[in-house]
């Protein structure tokens, strides 16, 4: 293999420093002579505080992904938060698919949609 690219926060998602070493060992074994390893990672050596610990990763019209960092001793726990947008019609259809009867479906406060589904 002439090149290996490891982008994003893959390294920081590995469960231990030993796993990072194993990944590097495997990469070195697989690379051809003069092959290149190109890792990128988020530098977590300076602890972030407050809202800086919430990192936007990507967003589309249908999905938002954010990482939340929690600093614990010599480790940073990374929590991935994924929000997806589904129309009320989609959820109503899924309720019906599983045999529930829709009694109520309406917009509620602050962008919420409220559905009452009853088992017959």
Residue 15, pLDDT above cutoff 80 = yes
In which band, very low, low, confident or very high, does the pLDDT at 10 lie, cut at 50, 70 and 90?
confident
Per-residue pLDDT tens over the stretch 55-96: 998 898 888 999 899 998 888 888 899 988 778 888 899 999
Residue 52, pLDDT above cutoff 90 = yes
Question: What is the DSSP secondary-structure string of the chain?
Answer: --EEEE-TTHHHHSSSHHHHHHHHHHHHHHSPTT-EEEE-----SS---GGGGEEEEEE-SSEEEEEEEEEETTEEEEEEEEEE---HHHHHHHHHHTTEEEEEEEE-GGG-EEEEEEE-
Predicted pLDDT at 1 = 66
């Amino acid at each position: 293999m002439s090149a290996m690219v490891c982008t994003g926060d893959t390294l920081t998602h590995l469960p231990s420093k030993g796993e990072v070493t194993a990944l590097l060992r495997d990469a070195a074994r697989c690379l051809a002579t003069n092959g290149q390893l190109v890792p990128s990672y988020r530098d977590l050596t300076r602890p972030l505080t407050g809202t800086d610990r919430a990192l936007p990763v990507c967003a589309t019209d249908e999905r938002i992904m954010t990482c939340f960092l929690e600093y614990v001793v010599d480790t940073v726990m990374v929590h991935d938060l994924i929000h997806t947008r589904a129309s009320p019609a989609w959820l109503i259809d899924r309720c019906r698919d599983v045999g529930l009867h829709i009694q109520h479906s309406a917009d509620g406060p602050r962008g919420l949609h409220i559905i009452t589904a009853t088992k017959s």
